[in-house]
């Protein structure tokens, strides 16, 4: 047993010495940039495609887009689950990449074929029959593919760094900044070039370019396979979670021992070298019942769990309030991607003799982010690191908190800009204010997103148990998903409520004429909710307990283990050693 463990450790050390690092991540950065050229461009321009080509009304086009984006990010959990338990993260990304490209092909075909466009009918939606089937089939495939890629790609990149190595731990913090920078560069090209082609030339050309760039990106990431550290899939994280909950429920009538040393854990010498060990914590103590060794039966997986397995479930439980308190920020982002584009479509889009498409206005915050990210990485992080001694300069939750504050400010500014825009439109419809007034709200929110998105990705990856990192990283996209769905719900609820109380008997967001709406009130409503939400976040962020920076050192000083060398439980561990050795040799 000991010889097998040592051989496995040697194999893994050699394996990690040859592969990984930023050399491997370069292939991933290329894919992120190329794929996001089309993804972000479509995310911003599809609301106009739905209105002008598919003939949805104002709220219908906004809700269709936000529901599509919500499904995309929700389905990232599928990609995360598969890459943790069934396929490797690389193969999962390539599989869902194929599905994404298939969806883009169908969308391109429908945009090209005039007979697949509905006729204007004056109703909230004119899409029906075969046209509706093709539209929603293409959107469904695109959502599934894009979501699955996001659930597996970021963890694949982060796997190229070993957190136990101090130098690589610092590099891991930088990886997430470079990942966002790659996204930003790709998105900048997309919202200028691809959006211009879609809105000014032809929609099908924009979709076709998005398809080609995504295909090239996935081809590049496939070529990089020899350079990757590929983590083999492990036991299903959902199974491990279910085991803890089921066993804890079975033992619900048993008192939790006061001494944590009485709880079951595998001996350090019997533990598989590739497995993580997590120290016992006192939060969610009712789950500790799952680690009480039964007197009448052997050590079987569905009758007793290790302390580490229970702590993995506790970590996920501690993450959930953080996830929930960042949802509202993404609701605000969804409104900027729909209502602001609709605002921009009735503003002065001239820049000298050049006409700027309304969906291209987010290029301003993207340019800010492209400049600020290197400054943050090369100047702020080293300076903050000297003070805080933290690899990321500031903690992930502190970074998220900064983003939440800025998002509330962005919504307040958006309301003020809308008042100015609408007043000018009512004064002289032929002389609208410049589209670049929207850059204030976009710029502030872009900086907020720079802090929050990277903070959440790093937080969910680093805090997650080893076998749940893809699933946990998907929580970042899950907050986006819930934000988009909440956005659709807000639009419907606000319209329903304000229609009853407004003297005009119209909701704040109704019909096609944005000048007759009260978008500013909706923005201020979101700003107030964002302030309240920030205080909720502060409470849960202060309550959260981070994992030790070196879990192995922490575990050595924790409770003494109960020996179980002859149990069925440990026999399964020995099998995992052999499987792990074979997998590493294969890779």
Sequence-ordered list of residues with C-beta below 8 angstroms from that of 568, at least 6 positions apart, any chain:
298, 299, 300, 301
Average pLDDT in the 457-476 region? 86
Q: What DSSP letter does each residue of 389-413 carry, written as one string?
A: --TTSS-HHHHHHHHHHHHHHHHHH
Q: Of 78-87, 128-137, 366-375, 513-522, which range is least confident?
A: 513-522
**Is 548 within a domain?**
no
- Its domain, for residue 494, covers 2-233+314-543
Could you tell me the CATH number of the domain that includes residue 539?
1.20.1250.20
Same domain as 482, residue 381: yes
| SS3 at position 560 | coil
Same domain as 255, residue 332: no
**Structure confidence by residue, pLDDT tens digits, 165-201:** 778 877 888 898 899 999 999 999 998 889 889 888 8
Q: Compute the chain's Rg from CA coordinates.
A: 26
- Give the rounded percent of residues in the chain with a pLDDT score beyond 90: 26
Same domain as 565, residue 515: no
Sequence-ordered list of residues with C-beta below 8 angstroms from that of 250, at least 6 positions apart, any chain:
303
**Is 51 within a domain?**
yes
* 393 C-beta neighbours (distance < 10 Å), count: 20
Q: Of 7-16, 364-373, 498-507, which range is least confident?
A: 7-16
Residue 212, pLDDT score: 95
| Residue 280 pLDDT > 50 | yes
- Give the rounded percent of residues in the chain with a pLDDT score beyond 70: 86
**Is 373 within a domain?**
yes
Same domain as 360, residue 394: yes
**Is 220 within a domain?**
yes
Predicted model pTM: 0.79
Same domain as 328, residue 203: yes
Same domain as 455, residue 352: yes
Average pLDDT in the 549-567 region? 40
Distance CA 137, CA 156 (A): 28
| SS3 at position 351 | strand
Residue 143 token pair: 């959502």
Average pLDDT in the 289-294 region? 83
**Structure confidence by residue, pLDDT tens digits, 71-106:** 998 999 999 889 888 889 999 999 999 999 999 999
Same domain as 266, residue 168: no
Residue 211, pLDDT score: 95
> pLDDT band for position 220 (50/70/90)?
very high
Q: Which residue has the tokens 């809105």?
A: 199
| Residue 125 pLDDT > 80 | no
Distance CA 207, CA 188 (A): 16
CB 443 within 8 A of CB 409: no
**Structure confidence by residue, pLDDT tens digits, 469-524:** 888 888 888 888 888 888 878 878 887 888 777 666 666 776 666 777 778 888 99
| Residue 13 pLDDT > 70 | no
Same domain as 579, residue 455: no
Same domain as 576, residue 510: no
**Is 549 within a domain?**
no
Distance CA 326, CA 449 (A): 11
Around 221, how many Cα atoms within 13 Å sit in the side-chain half-sphere? 31
Same domain as 242, residue 229: no
Same domain as 46, residue 175: yes
Please report, for residues 208, 256, 281, 308, 460, the alpha-carbon distance to residue 264 in angstroms, rounded to integers and kept in the order given: 57, 12, 14, 9, 27
Residue 524 token pair: 């201020």
Q: Quote the number of domains for the chain.
A: 2
**Is 71 within a domain?**
yes
| SS3 at position 354 | strand
Please report, for residues 92, 116, 199, the alpha-carbon distance to residue 202 in angstroms, rounded to integers and kept in the order given: 33, 15, 6
Residue 531, pLDDT score: 95
Nearest to 84 by CA among 463, 469, 460, 461: 469
Average pLDDT in the 430-440 region? 83
Average pLDDT in the 61-68 region? 83
**Is 525 within a domain?**
yes
Please report, for residues 35, 93, 231, 290, 345, the alpha-carbon distance to residue 30 in angstroms, rounded to integers and kept in the order given: 8, 14, 21, 45, 32
Same domain as 500, residue 473: yes
């Amino acid at each position: 047993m000991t010889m097998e463990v040592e051989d496995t450790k040697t194999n893994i050390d050699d394996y990690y010495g040859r592969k990984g690092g930023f050399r491997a991540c370069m292939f991933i950065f290329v894919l992120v940039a190329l794929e996001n050229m089309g993804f972000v461009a479509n995310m911003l321009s599809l609301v106009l495609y739905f209105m002008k080509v598919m003939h949805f009304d104002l709220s219908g086009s906004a809700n269709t887009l936000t529901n599509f984006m919500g499904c995309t990010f929700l389905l990232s959990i599928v990609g995360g689950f598969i890459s943790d338990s069934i396929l490797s993260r690389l193969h999962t990304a390539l599989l869902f990449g194929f599905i994404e490209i298939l969806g883009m092909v169908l969308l391109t075909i429908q945009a090209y074929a005039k007979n697949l466009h509905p006729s204007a009918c004056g109703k909230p939606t004119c899409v029906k029959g075969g046209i509706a089937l093709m539209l929603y089939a293409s959107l469904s495939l695109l959502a599934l593919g894009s979501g699955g890629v996001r659930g597996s790609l970021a963890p694949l990149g982060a796997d190229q760094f070993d957190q136990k190595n101090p130098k690589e731990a610092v590099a891991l913090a930088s990886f997430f900044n470079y990942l966002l920078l790659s996204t930003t560069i790709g998105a900048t090209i997309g919202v200028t070039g691809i959006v211009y082609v879609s809105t000014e030339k032809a929609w099908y050309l924009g979709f076709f370019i998005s398809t080609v760039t995504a295909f090239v990106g996935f081809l590049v990431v496939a070529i990089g396979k020899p350079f990757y550290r590929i983590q083999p899939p492990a036991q299903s994280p959902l199974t491990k979670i279910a085991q803890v909950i089921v066993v804890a429920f079975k033992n619900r009538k048993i008192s939790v021992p006061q001494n944590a040393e009485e709880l079951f854990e595998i001996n350090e010498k019997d533990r598989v070298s590739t497995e993580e060990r997590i120290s016992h914590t006192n939060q969610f103590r009712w789950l500790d019942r799952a680690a009480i060794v039964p007197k009448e039966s052997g050590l079987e997986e569905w009758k007793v769990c290790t302390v580490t397995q229970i702590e993995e479930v506790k970590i996920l439980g501690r993450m959930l309030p953080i996830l929930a308190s960042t949802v509202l920020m993404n609701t605000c982002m969804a409104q900027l991607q729909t209502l602001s584009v609709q605002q921009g479509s009735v503003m002065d889009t001239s820049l000298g003799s050049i006409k700027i498409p309304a969906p291209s206005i987010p290029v301003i915050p993207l340019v800010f982010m492209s400049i600020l990210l290197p400054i943050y990485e090369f100047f702020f992080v080293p300076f903050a690191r000297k003070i805080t001694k933290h690899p990321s300069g500031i903690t992930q939750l502190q970074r998220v908190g900064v983003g939440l504050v800025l998002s509330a400010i962005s919504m307040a500014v958006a309301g003020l800009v809308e008042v100015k825009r609408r007043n000018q439109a009512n004064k002289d419809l032929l002389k609208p204010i410049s589209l670049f007034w929207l850059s204030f709200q976009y710029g502030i929110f872009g900086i907020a997103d720079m802090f929050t998105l990277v903070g959440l990705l790093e937080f969910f990856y680093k805090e997650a148990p080893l076998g749940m990192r893809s699933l946990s990283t998907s929580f970042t996209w899950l907050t986006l998903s819930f934000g988009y769905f909440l956005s659709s719900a807000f639009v419907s609820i606000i319209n329903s409520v304000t229609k009853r109380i407004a003297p005009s008997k119209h909701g704040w967001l109704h019909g096609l004429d944005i000048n007759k709406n009260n978008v500013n009130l909706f923005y201020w409503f979101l700003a107030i909710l964002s302030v309240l939400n920030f205080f909720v976040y502060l409470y849960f962020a202060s309550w959260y307990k981070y994992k030790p920076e070196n879990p192995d050192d922490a575990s050595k000083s924790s409770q003494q283990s109960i020996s179980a060398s002859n149990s069925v439980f440990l026999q399964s561990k020995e099998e995992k050693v052999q499987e792990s050795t074979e997998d590493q040799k294969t890779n």
